[in-house]
Amino acid sequence: MDQTLTYYEQHADVFTAGSISADMEETRTHFLGALPKGAYLLDFGCGSGRDTKVFLDQGYQVDACDGSEELCRRASEYARTPVTHMLFHDLSAISQYDGIWACASILHLNKEDLKDVLRKISVALKPGGVLYTSFKYGTFEGMRGGRYFTDFNEEQLGVFMEQIPELKVFETWITNDVRPGKEEEQWINILARCMWRRLY
């Protein structure tokens, strides 16, 4: 993760310019449709703050965080809200969120770390809460373009998520990249529900 975070610190301008205007409206609507009105959300790895701003503008209560200090600064300015500098492993909330939006963020973890973070996500969600996350479509795992990526296809995703019974995937779908010039790249999108039924 250190090398990946260094990439974002050094390439914040390019990353923000390439992602801030990406049209994620259809995917956001899909995610919000699985949540109650007035849901409390976590934008987990918020990047430019693009989605945080939209969620806030639509009246949702939103916490936002990112592992890059520079992106936190930019996202806070853009979305006009505090953004917490936090690594994925530092998530410690318990039954706090109705929904967690991890759009193209936790894909930077290797599979062992990803298991741990997904379990932390399940604890941070309220029982029945919903996670949205996305990965590049494929079977690659390793460094690519200065960042670490874990890719999934449907088969690998199914096998992987069986190891995390705390989260039950209830929908997956494939989309093309919405960033200009990257339309041929594909993503696998996931909606999963927190299956914990806690006594506290």
User: In this predicted model, what pLDDT tens digit does every residue of 171-186 receive, in sequence order?
Assistant: 999 999 887 667 678 9
Return mean pLDDT, the chain.
94
- Superfamily, domain 2-194: Vaccinia Virus protein VP39 (3.40.50.150)
With beta carbons less than 8 A apart as the criterion, state whether 83 and 56 touch: no
Q: Tens digits of per-residue pLDDT, 54-67?
A: 999 999 999 999 99
Query: Cα–Cα distances in Å, from 165 out to 67, 102, 113, 152, 159?
Result: 27, 19, 16, 18, 11
Looking at the predicted structure, is the pLDDT value of residue 198 above 70?
no
Mean pLDDT confidence for 3-7: 95
Query: Cα–Cα distances in Å, from 190 out to 117, 159, 167, 176?
Result: 15, 14, 11, 14
With beta carbons less than 8 A apart as the criterion, state whether 174 and 187 touch: yes
